[in-house]
Amino acid sequence: MPGRLRIARCRLITPFQDLPEGELVLEGDRILYAGARQDHASEAALDAEGRLAVPGLIDLHLQGAGGSDVLDGTREGMRTIARTCARHGVTGFLATTVYRPGGDNRHLPVAAASCRSAAGAAAGEDGADVLGLHLEGPFISPEKRGMIQPDCVGPVREQTLTELLRLCGGALRMLTIAPELPGALEMIRRLSSQGIVASFGHSAADYVQTAAGLKAGIRHATHLFNAMAPLRHREPGPLPALLEWREVSLQVISDGVHLHPAILRLLAGLVGAERVVLITDGLQALGLEDGSYTYNRQPIVVSGGTARSPDGTLVGTSLGMNRLIQRYHGFAGCPLAQAVRAATFNPACVLGIQRRTGSLESGKSADLALLNPDFTVWKTWKRGRLIYAQS
């Protein structure tokens, strides 16, 4: 069990407050104090030297990092992903992957075991927690599958859900689904009744079909604007329904490529601080240099932190969450606290874990990161244990 640590002289973003002269006190695995700087006379402290203190970042859409992919199906690969996440200030993530109907799905029990390990792990584990699994499909539109391969797409069937639930062993937290598919609305209701987040995505649904999905229980949207019909004035598509339904949280890839900066500005103004959830849509290249990689046995090229297939299809990013906060803040023109909230408290709310993590408040888990002025990560703590320190 970690001891007591005082972190002094930080710019503290809780994210409900932005305190230029803040202070944190950690006691064991909890936050004892988070607020304005106090006078402790000669008491020893870690001097943050004005660095930015933020809650531990939470990524709801991460397929790989550090050269490894959830699809690799190895425990060491999952550890590599978790350690790479910690380098970017992330203390928890959803392992995002696919299900192959009738095919090889050995990666799912491995990822699920990583979730169970995180739940009961020794406090000194040197990586982010795997908070659960997020499956993109298989109940998605073939015409909006993007880089998801055809063998990972299938019709909505009860026996398919039963099998993937068995493989995930209780770790499935989110499933991306297209509501226009036959049987999808009943499937959305079943997912919702079991506490699994039904997320709109990879869908060819129109406005009416999207609204029906929302009424059935969809409360989240996977990488908004991407892999869905565009907004047209006489054929509005899914976007107006998703934007006007206030209970729906919206995944956003803020690299400036998946969404133009003007769209990011518009979105921040339309939906405010509560509904945007930043994601990396991270691939095995996350944390590595630009270059050639693979995803699900298919070649991809990463340039400027954004990944594409050879035909130009956008695939995801290699950018850490710390960088996407920086870009969202810059492109959207929103307060930094709003950008931080989109990567901390908002995703915690999606998973229903906001009472224990996602913000820097007394009594909450000591999950936090200190960022340098250039948004690189100086240190990351998970449950009061230092899991990354910049060398």
Across 41-45, 110-114, 162-166, 266-270, least confident range:
41-45
| pLDDT tens, position by position, 316-345 | 999 999 999 999 999 999 999 999 999 999
What is the pLDDT, as a whole number, of residue 124? 42
| pLDDT tens, position by position, 88-120 | 999 999 999 999 999 999 999 999 999 976 654
Q: Which residue has the tokens 């406090």?
A: 123
Q: Are 185 and 212 in contact (CB under 8 A)?
A: yes
Is pLDDT at 41 greater than 80 in this prediction? no
> 20: buried, middle or exposed (CB in 10 Å: 19+, 13-18, 0-12)?
exposed
- Superfamily covering domain 57-355: Metal-dependent hydrolases (3.20.20.140)
Residue by residue, DSSP assigns 88-146 as: TTEEEEEEEE---TTS--THHHHHHHHHHHHHT--TT--S-EEEEEEEE-SSS-GGG-T
The model carries a pTM of: 0.96
At residue 38 the predicted structure's pLDDT band, cuts being 50, 70 and 90, is confident
Residue by residue, DSSP assigns 180-240 as: TSTTHHHHHHHHHHTTPEEEE-S----HHHHHHHHHHT--EESSTTTTSPPP-SSS--SHH
Instruction: Give the count of beta carbons closer than 10 Å to the beta carbon of residue 104.
Output: 10
**Domain edges within the chain:** 57-355
Active site residue 281: yes
The token pair that represents 40 in the structure block: 């402790």
Active-site residue, selected from the candidate residues 47, 281, 367, 374: 281
- Residue 370 CA to its chain's centroid (Å): 19
The token pair that represents 64 in the structure block: 């790989």
